[in-house]
Amino acid sequence: MEWVRLPIRGWKALWGLKKSRELVSVLVVAVSIFMAMGPRKWNFGQSSGCNFPAVYNCGDSNSDTGGRYIDGQVIIDLIAQKLGLPYLSAYLDSIAANFQHGANFATGGSTIQPVDSRIFEAGFSPISLDIQLMQFEQFKERINELYKFSGKSSIKRGFPRLDCFSKALYILDIGQNDLYAGFKYSTEMQVLTSIPNITNLFALVVEKLYQHGARNFWVHNTGPIGCLPFSVINNPQNTENADENGCVRSHNEVAKEFNRQLKETVSRLSAQLSDAVLIYVDIYSAKYTLITEAKQHGFANPIGYCCGHNGDYFMHCGMKGMVNGTEVYGASCSDPSTYISWDGMHYSHAANQWIANHIMDGSFSDPPIPITEACHKIVH
């Protein structure tokens, strides 16, 4: 969530810039979507009942596919596969990317709230949700220019048709880092009082996307942040603040309050944006169910993790460091498929597969619509 493990060329350039929002915008404009197009990874699945021609995703490391790093197969990849679409190319890694069926604006460490200097220095991404919206707006504008001024069909290969924007599925999976940053720099009560502002900022972005023609939204709430091994490590256990799974109870309570207010926001937007379809997806319940039932699904310690090391010393996954004069390395376990958490902060490939299978059929959605039918509005 905070640290960079597998940086890509687009991110390195960005991270070295000054922290002004203007310079971030300049970089995004400079990302050339007119480079040679080629697929990142193709894996087609079943066709969608709604036949979404594209998916546009905004989010953090839970759905990042190369904006900051690639952390294996994330849920957004599995969703694209379910819809019969290729995996989404990261907007910030546009060289050899293919945007014909959508784009991924998510970057690891992103927040809904704009990032201040303290949060930036702590390693969080400057690409907050409002910047991701700006990226989308610039992308759409340049696609419009491409079709307006170019008569060569070969140039348009790798880009979406103009009508894709109104027919696409828009996924938003963000908010966890707002809570995590709050826990790190303020009190839990201060985090709670900040939630209305966070959800209001979220609503503004949805409204802006709607103004740009977006009509189909698939909104993920935030997961049980108190069950992340990294949260447990940094919050010494006591019986009063640990639940039956060993998770940090108070952190999960804040996450549930954020989700309650987010759900209210989505309901309000659904009534306000009359011809839009907004599906609220309870990622929290899906993940907590997996953690509670970990052993019966073949997973080991639900709050253990595969890559990195904790014990006499803590070392991030894939990192090296000196401990008592000896170099140590945060290596991977022998069988990642037995762990829910990959590195203490992100879910493993196997866990993401289980979660994706249980959210895409509508079991954890309100209204309970499967993702393949997420263009159909239920009239109460």
* Residue-wise pLDDT tens digits, 126-156: 999 999 999 999 999 999 988 887 665 555 6
pLDDT of 247:
95
For residue 128, being part of any structural domain is answered with yes
* Residue-wise pLDDT tens digits, 49-96: 799 999 999 999 999 988 876 655 689 999 999 999 999 999 998 777
* Residue-wise pLDDT tens digits, 198-210: 999 999 999 999 9
User: Structure pTM?
Assistant: 0.85
Question: Would you place residue 1 in the very low, low, confident or very high pLDDT band (cuts 50, 70, 90)?
Answer: very low
pLDDT of 175:
97
Residue 232 confidence (pLDDT) above 80: yes
For residue 332, being part of any structural domain is answered with no
Contact 288, 224 (CB under 8 A): yes
Residue length, the chain?
Answer: 380
pLDDT of 234:
84
Contact 41, 97 (CB under 8 A): no
**Given 61, 128, 270, 365, which residue is catalytic?**
61
Residue 297 confidence (pLDDT) above 60: yes
CA–CA dist 239, 247 (Å, integer): 11
CA–CA dist 111, 284 (Å, integer): 18
For residue 220, being part of any structural domain is answered with yes
* Residue-number span of the structural domain to which 69 is assigned: 55-295+348-373
Reduced to 3 states (helix: H, G, I; strand: E, B; else coil), residue 209 is: helix
Q: How many domains does the chain have?
A: 1
Mean pLDDT of the residues in the chain: 85
For residue 334, being part of any structural domain is answered with no
CA–CA dist 372, 218 (Å, integer): 11
Average pLDDT estimate for 97-116: 94
In degrees, rounded to 5, the angle at the alpha carbon of residue 78 between the alpha carbons of residues 233 and 71 is: 40
For residue 29, being part of any structural domain is answered with no
* Residue-wise pLDDT tens digits, 153-192: 555 677 899 999 999 999 999 999 999 999 988 999 999 9
**Given 64, 346, 348, 365, which residue is catalytic?**
346
Residue 61 annotated to the active site:
yes
Residue 304 confidence (pLDDT) above 60: yes
Residue 295 confidence (pLDDT) above 60: yes
Q: Is 246 exposed, middle or buried (0-12, 13-18, 19+ CB in 10 A)?
A: middle
DSSP string, 25-65: HHHHHHS-TTSPP--S-----PPPSS--S-EEEEESTTS-B
Residue 343 annotated to the active site:
yes
For residue 73, being part of any structural domain is answered with yes
Range in 191-195, 212-216, 327-331, 363-367 the model is least confident about: 327-331
* Residue-wise pLDDT tens digits, 14-35: 444 334 444 334 333 333 333 3
Residue 47 confidence (pLDDT) above 60: no
Residue 219 confidence (pLDDT) above 90: yes
For residue 155, being part of any structural domain is answered with yes
More confident residue, 120 or 376: 376
pLDDT of 9:
38
pLDDT of 233:
87
Residue 196 confidence (pLDDT) above 70: yes
Peptide bond into 160 cis (omega under 30): no
For residue 10, being part of any structural domain is answered with no
pLDDT of 320:
87
pLDDT of 204:
98
**Given 77, 178, 282, 343, which residue is catalytic?**
343
**What is the CATH number for 267?**
3.40.50.1110
